[in-house]
Structure 1
């Protein structure tokens, strides 16, 4: 096992996040829009992706599209440090291969999901602050609970002072289904697709092969991750009482049941299109950067 594999995994995601954070801001706002309100009973400040971009720029300024960027970079580095690092270790040691040497889809799902869950739990405080900063908006377009953070550092300090270490990991359990489904689907699809395209001589160029496999993996991931992503956004953005308990949701299950009962089952796919537009490019860039950084490391430093 090479420690550099883990560092490369984290670094690859940082580069991708710089490009995809604006659409993440849009996705977060749309997911919080109409929270616990029946369809047609609330004002929609964000009527689609294009309208959301324009509304944010008009009311909050152009730089608001990069709200939450700093904690997003920390979150992405940590989760992919473990997710991609563990997956690559399992690949190198052939823990996910069948007896005939092929990559096993169930084993790929296991290692992808396992690494994602570890990374998601450890990075949960940064994901929480990222979500809360991204939801902060001018009164005219505000959705969800509005926190009063001034920066990532002040947010982490205030949460710790108010609710202790458990406050920093409030709602962390809600990130696990999101990570398991999203990471498992992405990493399993990526590995199997790469091998299929290469073995069938469809796309053999290393860069093109990684790009195509990453694009397909991102599409599969967006379908799997959106429902738990909505729940995670709601859980982490809600306000808390004096004891650190959520004002709207008692648990991940409680959140799921309330959202479905009040907003309907399809509400679990709120923000699907911005999620798709973010995950596709993000997944492609992360996995492409990861493969290229590994190639550079192996060529010049091994």
Structure 2
């Protein structure tokens, strides 16, 4: 794994550190394995009562704990890991880019001033930019993940049921029906979702970590310093990200016209938001909030925790290698 690759274009020099992308992806994979069951629950609850007023649909999942019980009772405990394979691929690609590219920006001092303090607007720009790249590249995996997670027994089914037998079968079906463009359906919503959540997550983490470091209250490079910084940052992510998460799930999972490739329920993000507000009210945007909170909190903590832990060990390894050579 190369430490650096310099791409030269005239007088411009762009440094890409592929190891940062790999470490970011591996950290997200570790987190994704533990939090995928909550992601499945979140998806089910967000699709429950789609475009129906409160009280006019059957509530299969009353809350996170009831959803766990329903799935284990009517399907199996293994069903809690539905969509794990595309979820792992998505985490690796999306967060590999998001964490890795953000760290490259931080390494290049693009997010900080001459005193080493985080510059808020620069950190936001770098967080949004890295999130956009990762979300777009990983969008096909998020699409299949959503389809597989929503599949369930008919008597507790919510949302449209796509009936894919596996990740590869899902890719094949969508490609045959709608071509390569169909694999990126809903990517704009995903980009919006990740841009909002990712910029806040990374910026809040870096800001909190810098603040704690200046105060010398704890060792911010220790596991508990990383954990504390991640936990504080995750609180901001959940509140800001959930409405965009609901819209993203609805757009990805909606049925598609096999001839035109267009969604049969929503024409896009504005249309989806208007229809949710008119039929489900403002609370419709916060369906699955409990599951989102229980998932995003630990996922934010674990993603950044594993990412920082792997970076620390990898940099130590490089230092030892340099000393030996």
Alignment TM-score, normalising by the size of structure 2: 0.91
Secondary structure at the counterpart of residue 112 of structure 1: helix
Match of 1:33 among 32, 42, 48: 48
Spell out, residue by residue over 1:234-270, the C-alpha distance to the aligned partner (whole angstroms, 9 max, x if none): 0000010122111100111111111111110121011
Match of 1:217 among 221, 233, 255: 233
Structure 1 contact 198–209 (Cα < 8 Å) conserved: no
Name 2:95's counterpart in structure 1: 80
Aligned length in residues = 302
Name 1:130's counterpart in structure 2: 145
Matched, 1:239 2:259: no
Alignment TM-score, normalising by the size of structure 1: 0.98
2-side partners of 1:238 and 1:53: how far apart?
24
Spell out, residue by residue over 1:172-205, the C-alpha distance to the aligned partner (whole angstroms, 9 max, x if none): 1111110111000000000000111111122215
1-side partners of 2:278 and 2:133: how far apart?
31
Secondary structure at the counterpart of residue 315 of structure 2: helix
Name 1:288's counterpart in structure 2: 305
Match of 2:175 among 139, 157, 160: 160
Name 2:163's counterpart in structure 1: 148
Deviation at 1:100, TM superposition (A): 3.3
Deviation at 1:101, TM superposition (A): 2.6
2-side partners of 1:218 and 1:56: how far apart?
27
Deviation at 1:104, TM superposition (A): 1.1
Superposed CA RMSD: 0.9
2-side partners of 1:2 and 1:36: how far apart?
45
Name 1:50's counterpart in structure 2: 65
Q: Return the index of the structure with the highest Cα Rg.
A: 2
Name which of structure 1's ranges 4-13 and 97-106 shifts more when overlaid on structure 2.
97-106
Matched, 1:268 2:285: yes
List gaps (5 residues or longer) in structure 1. none
Match of 1:178 among 193, 201, 223: 193
Match of 2:36 among 17, 21, 26: 21
Secondary structure at the counterpart of residue 118 of structure 2: coil
Structure 1 contact 6–86 (Cα < 8 Å) conserved: yes
Name 2:204's counterpart in structure 1: 189
Spell out, residue by residue over 1:198-247, the C-alpha distance to the aligned partner (whole angstroms, 9 max, x if none): 11122215211111011111121111110000000000000101221111
2-side partners of 1:16 and 1:140: how far apart?
31
Name 1:300's counterpart in structure 2: 317
2-side partners of 1:101 and 1:241: how far apart?
53
Structure 1 contact 110–184 (Cα < 8 Å) conserved: yes
Structure 1 runs (4+) greater than 6 angstroms displaced = none
